[in-house]
Structure 1
Amino acid sequence: MNARLTSIAAATLIALAGGTAVAAPAAAPDTAQAALKGPVFKLANQAFAAYNAKRYAQAEQLARRAIAMRPDVLRLRMLLIYALQKQGKNAEALEAVNNAQAGGLQSDELTQAKSNLKGGGGDAGETQSAAFRQGFPIATQAFADYNAQQYESSAKLAEQALRIDPSQGTWALLWITALEAQKQLQAAIDAADTAIALGTPNRQDLVARKQALRKSMSVAPAVSAYQALIAFDGAKAVGFAREAVALSPDTQSHRLLLMTALQLNRQIADGETAATEALQQDDEDTTALVMRAYFRQFQGKTALANKDFDEAIAQDWLEDEQRASLRLIAADAALVAGDYERAKTLVAPLDANDKAVAERLKKIASREPPPQEITAASYPPPAQDCRLTPYGSVCDLRPADGASTASAKAYAAYGKQDYQEAIIQAQKAVEQSPDSPAMHRLLTVALAAGNTQQQEQAMQRIATELEATPDDAGLLMQRAYIHQRRKEPELALEDFRAARATGKAPALAILDEGYALARTGRKAEAVATLKQAIDQSDTNELELDRGQRYNTRGAISGLSREWGASVSTSYRGARPAGSGLNGTPVTTGSDSVFGMADVYWRPPEFLNSSTQVFEVYGRVMSTLHGGSSTTGEQTIVDPCTGRPAPINAARNDGVSGLPTTIGSLGLRFTPSTDYALTFGLERRFLLGSNTRSGSITPASADLRCQLSGRDPAQPGAPVVGNAQSILFDANASSGGWLAYATYGFYHGTGLRFDVPSWFTVEGYVQGGYYREDLSADFWMRDQNTGANGERQRGKYRRDQWFANAEARAGRSFRIDAVSDRLMLFPHLVLALDYQRQNYRAHVPGFDETVRVLGNGSTWSAGGGAGMSVRYAFREDRYHAPRSYVDWTVQYRTNLGGGEADRAKGWFMSLSMWY
């Protein structure tokens, strides 16, 4: 994700730590039981063994002795009660319940036991329902199993008892709690739904327990969202945050997390929607109101943004400092909209001597024009300074430059990529809140972005935490992201798989595993995993928004591709190497149409992964239409006399078709797709007759004079013979070697669904060397009679260095009215090229190497505007479009001299990639 991580993330991280703690189950075993040691531990084990062996009197005696030593242990009290019940000593059992409660122990089990015992004595037993009498022994055993930590048996028996008598709400709670103790949170939620459907009377308790369970389940995807933000993977962060919100919609920190992820991923319209949904949950949520105002102003919805800002400022429970911060935030929005009067009104009640206020007043006075395009840099989101309190996390909104806490400063430094300052501030945040898991996690994140030694510290901190909680999916995934940053794909894959194996990782973690497999080169396994994610999405097991699903399908298409082909035609140009924009060639001077067909193969088990590409390719190029040109009357220098000589106008017809055909076989390799640098080597074959034959015009004036039929020693003397020309011809197997390197840069070139239009820039820089060393037949031709002389074998060597560059910048638009796979890209273009050639021939009969006229360096530069239309097609359930057609038209003007004819005029290309 290219968007920078801003200080807004600090608030949601702290809120996560303070607002989503896993609630302890109502009937969970007491924490003291883990401390049983020595004699009491031995007595407890003997007591439970006696009970399980149905020696209830012995269990009673042993339990009383253990309770005397540890009266604070609930499960010992319950064991005594059950043992008395089994012996029919209900009065003594009731007394045991009262004693436990008098000793300060309170639990659902004691309450239920007391109710059961009161209903089970004397005549009252006759009022019990048949269902209760049938289910009671089963429920009693379920409670006993729970206290013996036999949770699986307890859950099964509690469910059985509840289905017999659904009126017993405590049995429902026991069923849920036993499942929760096994970490089967979704099963516990399903059990609560079942109990409610059965008509269990404590509906409110069950609903509350469901909410607590869903909140517990929401922690893992929330943590994963933060890890994705740290790894600058906005799409995954948004998906994880949406999952957290869906599980626990009333958790404000999750709502804020989603807004943060959407903002950082530049999904501004979706961010506004998320803020609106948060306000529907709590219409007095100041943070959501201000964030919605920010999103609206970012989209140019100034009136709606102002309404939200004004409503937030008017909230009467705000303290003066909070309201002052909101005024500054609203003033920043007014400034970015160019509304200086509103900005002045907003800051008027504030202290003009305050540094932040003075800065705004200075901007108001300067009346600097607002930015033409709002970006996160020109209009950063509000900062949030957060702190933990006994009542949860509390966040104060501040202007983007007004963060004051160490944690906010750490995130601000992190967003500026000042990682050393981020580490210093994170260390201060830990010192200020040593018991805050969020601050410790913040320090770990900052260290992970530091140097090698600091990254190692981050890994050690994670390892320490994992020793205490080895099944912490969030920590495992965080370590995996660090491994990815350190280019350790195998270790990252291991941690992603371990996180998923815990059963606590968010559903979207399957995508992480798939991409990690791809980075290790295991493309077939990666494709299978990503296809499984699509299957889970189709069955509602995994929630993927439209963009995530498209990106997943796009990854499948890329990873599964082993071969491809392209065909392109272009007006004015033929590129010499294997790269460029959409197959467009390097320009030439004549108004010609060129064609090219390219087929490649990617060996699946050799040098190919998600981060590197190796291809074997074949190509055929030809001039489809040769442009003609007219040379007007002009004066040239006579090679014999050195004096000007007039020549008549002439028409030059271009050559096209099969005689211009060139074939090639080559290899190209991209070591890292992160840098988009490709190296290529190809062998060319001069298939067309015009590519391997022709005439040679010497660069030497003396040789040209000699060929004209005159004596160079007597330039003014009469012609002594007929004019001659040097011709050559090589066979079809002739050719040369081309080596090249291409660097491409692309931003916003892919299809997007989160916004209807987006900024796009693309370009490439290419350089290389071409060498031909042809064995050819040479002969002389009489220009007067056309007679050919004797053919003799010689050499023709052609060397050429070249460099080409093109850049396009503009805005892409998705044309949904026609098709959501159709993009329009109006753009500005800048193109440059450079060529240096050295052609020479060893011609029989000439004592010296004949250097060819025209050797040397030439260059051209052009700039202008253009329009591209691209349509993507060939897709299915698993694959995003694997083919596209692209048509580009440009008009350029010459820049800075050079070969003007090569740089100006109309340029067009039509390409299809399959």
Structure 2
Amino acid sequence: MEGEAYTATETAYKAFGRGDYKASAASAAEAVALRPDLLRLHLLLIDSLVAAGDLAQAEQATKAASAAFAGNQELEGRQANIRQRLAQQPAGEGYKALERGDAKAAVRAARSAVEYAPDSMSYRLLLLSAQLADGNFNDAVATATGAIKLDPGNYVPLVWRAYLYQKLGNRAQAVSDFNAALATPNLTDIEKKNIRLIAADAALASGDFRTVQELLANYSKTDPAVVTRLGDADAAAEKKATLKGDGKLMLPPVQTCRDTPYGSVCSLEAPLVQSIATPVPPVDKAAESFEAAGKAYQASRARNYSLAIEEARKAVEASPETVANHLLLVNLMISAGRPADAEVAASRAIAQGHGTAEIYAQRGYARNLQHNRRGAMADWETALQRGLPPDQARNVRLSLVDAALAAKDPQRALRTLQRLPITYDTAIRRAYALQALDRKEESIAEFRTAERLGPTAILRDEALRAQINTLLELKRKPEARAIFDQAIARGRLSTMRDADLAYLAVAVGNDEIALNRFDRAHDRGQLPPRATIDAGYTAMRQFQNPKAIAYLMEGVDAKADGRINIDDQKLFETRRTISDLSRVWGINSSITYGKVGSAPNPFLVVNNPASTYTSQLGTELYYRPPEFGNRNGALFDVFVRLFETLYDQAGGPTGLRTTQGMVGARWKPFSDHNLVLEVDKLIALGDAARNDTLLRAAYSYTVGTDLRAIDTHWPTWYVYAEVDKFLEKSQLVGIAEGRFGHSFRLDPISRNLVFFPHAVLAASYDDSFANHEAYSAGAGGSLRYWFGETKYLAPPSYWELTLQYRFRIAGDKRAEGIFAQTSINY
């Protein structure tokens, strides 16, 4: 620092040192204006303002500094401290407003405190208390929810939200929050007791005496906090009293807060309560049971399952020896989606000696709904042994088969099916059981039977689809394709969703139908986001590149929006495919240094000096016709090339005299094999170049040569071979090379920079040399930097630098020495 900035800074520090904080702040502000790039000046200004008591200006200074130095921990710490201190004033005003009964002023002040210190639980609870006092329960629920997210391990906001839901009439959500509060880890015994007492108050307000008994069962009935609540619940259970209420009449818990070295900590206590039970006169039990059962049936017809279950319980309590009442209660609980309660009710009936076949069957259904398949199967087998009516026995057997299949016990499923006649229901299940036993040939016959007997088109299509998939599992794809094509021709499989049918078509190899159904699902807005990528690859196989690119770009957008879950490598591969499909032209350029034949040139070394060091520049511009240049990875390019020798150790011609022109075309006929066929016309642009015709064939196999998105290092190797035949000046050239090593992504520098140390084996043949052959081995390294990526395109271009040293193994001396190359693929 120098000049005015230095002077202002020195003045600020001296003023701070003698305690004149306002003067320090003024000088520090001047220094920051002159040198806003220095973090320590911003910190000096903030500290001076805080010391001067000007917290509002300190916060503004902190915001300004944070904009310039985002993510700085020192700034974040100061900002949190300042905002915490700013929050204290409105918080104090909020507490005072509550004391004088001004709820709306308390809400305004508490909101201000929360805005300043959103991480403070005590301020959020202050706001919640103010909203309760103001009678604004919906806003209080939102505040409690925010407090729960702030500290999921704190039971207090959970209990408050449960209380609020109870007051709003949402009993189910209140119970859920009370249960969550009781499941909070590290609760003290006192905290657990208070939560149970508060939850008991809510249950009593709803007339739910059983929940009260369960909550308070482990506490002494002489406990003053328990006796009234449990007494009301026991009286209601014994029909000596009733609990009337709409569920909203309950006293709020009592909140107390205390200051600790870690901040203010709040807890809840259950309020003092009085009995709310109303005594009732005794009634005739048989009449009560009959009346309650009738009300239960009536409520169930109206789908009012809560009332129906309540009345069915009354019927069971009034006449526990009547099995029909137990069965009614269990059935209603299953219909209401409460299988756990249904299992408990059925087990209680069985324990009381009412274990009929029907009770066991219903308990089996309840257990199955809870995924307790083993327990369900045991109950169903017991029910079948005790005897069920024929129709009910058939349904139980089919349910038993389904549970056995889900439990991966297909042998049990087959045994159960032996007692049933052949129908669609039995044939389709037998097919799946045989398939699970790896008896796939037999399962195909059963799938065909199920297809023949299926009562609806949906079921027939399901069986047909299963046949096709089983044939695919048996590696009988041609047969599966034939059945699929025949089905489509007959209008079958029409009940399948378009996207599902498209995937089946892909599996059998009918990309035409697959793309058609992908398109139809897309047009109707029914294509799942994940399917857009698969649709893109299907379009690519159908040589519809613009459509493929559009689908794949939708997939990239779906990943960015969080609508599909694919890893970064899959996303990278999708973007790489878009890059390849959208490529219409490109430039390849390289400069090599080495001996002739020491390595494959990307284009071809066309001059043939002695076995001494040379350097050559090669540049290619190619065009790939968008209509047919890329057919699912089968490529066709036309190109022009220029070569020039830059250096010749032997003293041969260099520069413009060696300029070699070339025009030609290359064809990669296979999608899955990197074989390239090429024809070139050589045009001498310099007097040391040549006119000729060249036929060329090249093949390569690569592993790990592309950039990777997740891995930071990976095995890499490739082999390359080419044969070149000059027709007019007869010459035969052959080159082969293998590089074997490991790639390392240099993330500290750039995620797009890859270092590839490797071993190399090379061989060359050139019949224009006295010694036609040369063989070498060596080691080297490559640096490759990828660039040009966008949201949709993986980096399509790269620059590479390679340096190797090779030792001659056999043949001509041109095999040994240094090989260096720098190239760009754009």
Normalising by structure 1, report the TM-score: 0.40
Give the structure with the larger helix fraction. 2
The one of the two structures with greater contact order (alpha-carbon pairs below 8 A, sep at least 6) is 1
